[in-house]
Amino acid sequence: MVDLLNDLLFVFQRLNWLSVVDLFLVTVVFYVLLMFLRNTQAMILLRGVFSLIILVSLLTVVVDLPAFSWLVTTTLPALLIAIPVIFAPEIRRALERLGRVSAFLPTGRVRAETQDVISVVAYAAARLSERRHGALIVLQRLDSLSEYVSTGISLDAHVTTQLILQIFYPNTPLHDGAVIISGTRLLGAACVMPLSASGVLAENPDRQMGLRHRAALGTSEVGDAVAVVVSEETGAVSVAYGGRMIHRLGEGRLEAVLRAFYRPLEPKNGIEEYLYRIFPFLSPDAPEPAPELEQEEA
Q: What are phi and psi of 141, to 5 degrees?
A: -110, -105
Between the alpha carbon of residue 252 and those of residues 33, 144, 239, the distances in Å are 36, 28, 13
Mean pLDDT for all residues in the chain: 76
pLDDT digits (tens, 9 = 90+) for 26-68: 888 888 777 766 655 566 666 777 777 778 777 777 777 777 7
Q: Measured between alpha carbons, how far is 121 from 137 in angstroms, rounded to an integer?
A: 8
pLDDT digits (tens, 9 = 90+) for 103-154: 334 444 445 566 689 999 999 999 999 999 999 999 998 778 888 999 999 9
Is 215's pLDDT higher than 50?
A: yes
pTM of the shown model = 0.60
pLDDT digits (tens, 9 = 90+) for 235-283: 999 999 988 889 889 888 999 999 888 764 444 455 555 555 555 555 5
- Tell me the torsion sign for CA atoms 165, 218, 119, 297: positive
In order of their start, the domains of the chain are 2-99 (no CATH), 111-293 (3.40.1700.10)
Q: Measured between alpha carbons, how far is 234 from 247 in angstroms, rounded to an integer?
A: 12
